[in-house]
Amino acid sequence: MGVEDRKLEVLRAIVEDFIATNEPVGSKSLVDRHNLGVSSATIRNDMAALEEDGLIAQPHTSAGRVPTDAGYRMFVDRLTEIKPLSGAEKRAISAFLDGAVDLDDVLHRAVRALAQLTRNVAVVQYPTLSRSRIRHLELVMISTTRLMLVVITDTGRVEQRVVDLPSPVAEDDVHELRSTLNAKLRDRLLSEAPEIVSDLPSQVDTGLRGMLATLTSVLLEVLVEPTSDRVVLGGTANLSQQTLDFPAIRPVLEALEEQVVLLRLLDQSVSSSKVLVMIGNETHHEGLAGASVVSTGYGLHGSAVGAVGVLGPRRMDYAPTMARVAAVARYVGTLLEDR
């Protein structure tokens, strides 16, 4: 084993021991616990080199060392494989998610599963409307001057809006517009809707254009989704069991309350097919400097439409956490495809 390879083995051992014990790791404990095949003096030299490289640090006056953000990053990047789930874990995920009745139920069950399996805070992003396809548009007459517009997407989202019309309409006109809208928009991405509906006025009778303009403006408003209903959180109480891992819990809780922060972190996973790990300052949020976020996208037909993840201390057990996040994401995607 070369010097660089041995240094990486020492780093791996320090990270694993610190994750297991939450105590700074010294050279003697490395010799006792790991078969590194070299003397304590050689390990001390390697530790000095790792410290010089900024991968480990000495807290206070302790003789031991702890991983830095850069050390955790190198450790995660060199995980050669994500630890496979045990049979019990697979059964637990299945038990949580089987029997879900709709999209809301699927996502809330997924959050509970992840929070329980990882003992961290779990977060699931609703399918992004712009990445969802329109499965069906329904127009329901409430009165001659008021309609209910219902948009049903392939990801299971159902958006409803009340539409006040500029003038009374007949039931036959509503039926015609429903048919026109479905013919043009079914199976199209919602993000494509603005361009498609801009061509519709020329394709309907003159008398229907006022109603069509009102309907399409409401349809476009659906795309401007509020952040307040785009994530589901679970397992926040797990933070109370990790007070030793965070310098302060309050900034973490404040960050969790800012859904924009969570959505920014999760959105990065939607555009990647991998399990992403953001460690400490990589989250670019002061309140999460002592935390890590593990996330990945879930999707339909190979295309990600949302993301799931967990937030926990930097001292989390990364390999099994990454596996559990990936497994729940796959399960959510499968359930959406089956609907």
Contact present, 292 and 313 (Cβ < 8 Å): yes
pLDDT in tens, 2-45: 667 888 889 999 999 998 888 899 888 888 888 877 888 888 89
- Give the angle 301-303-308 at the CA atoms, nearest 5°: 110
Can you give the pLDDT at residue 244?
Answer: 65
pLDDT category of residue 101 using cuts at 50, 70 and 90: confident
| 52 vs 243, higher pLDDT | 52
The mean pLDDT of 209-223, rounded to a whole number, is: 82
Can you give the pLDDT at residue 71?
Answer: 94
pLDDT in tens, 242-296: 766 777 788 888 888 888 888 888 888 887 778 999 999 999 988 888 899 999 9
The mean pLDDT of 173-199, rounded to a whole number, is: 87
Alpha-carbon distance of 291 to 280, in angstroms, equals 5
Could you please report the per-residue DSSP string of 42-93?
A: HHHHHHHHHHHTTSEE--TT-SSBEE-HHHHHHHHHT--SPPPPPHHHHHHH
The mean pLDDT of 73-90, rounded to a whole number, is: 83
Residue 82 in any domain: the answer is: no
In this structure, what token pair is assigned to residue 287? 């309140």
Query: Rounded mean pLDDT of the chain?
Result: 86
Can you give the pLDDT at residue 34?
Answer: 83
| Last residue of one domain, picked from the residues 189, 223, 257 | 223
Clarify whether residues 165 and 282 are in a common domain: no
What three-state secondary structure class fits 298? Answer: strand
Can you give the pLDDT at residue 212?
Answer: 81
Residue 141 in any domain: the answer is: yes
The mean pLDDT of 157-162, rounded to a whole number, is: 88
pLDDT at residue 225 greater than cutoff 70:
no
Can you give the pLDDT at residue 243?
Answer: 66
What three-state secondary structure class fits 311? Answer: strand
Clarify whether residues 180 and 124 are in a common domain: no
pLDDT at residue 223 greater than cutoff 60:
yes
| 83 vs 332, higher pLDDT | 332
Residue 313 in any domain: the answer is: yes
Alpha-carbon distance of 199 to 137, in angstroms, equals 18
**Residue 109 structural domain:** 87-128+227-337
The mean pLDDT of 65-85, rounded to a whole number, is: 86
pLDDT at residue 227 greater than cutoff 60:
no
Residue 35 in any domain: the answer is: yes
Orientation of helix 87-97 relative to helix 318-337, angle to 10°: 40
Clarify whether residues 245 and 326 are in a common domain: yes
| Last residue of one domain, picked from the residues 206, 223, 240 | 223
Q: What is the CATH number of the domain that holds 204?
A: 3.30.390.60
Closest by alpha carbon to 208, among 180, 177, 178, 171? 177
**What's the structural domain count of the chain?**
3
Alpha-carbon distance of 139 to 114, in angstroms, equals 38
In one letter, which amino acid is 237? A
pLDDT category of residue 238 using cuts at 50, 70 and 90: confident
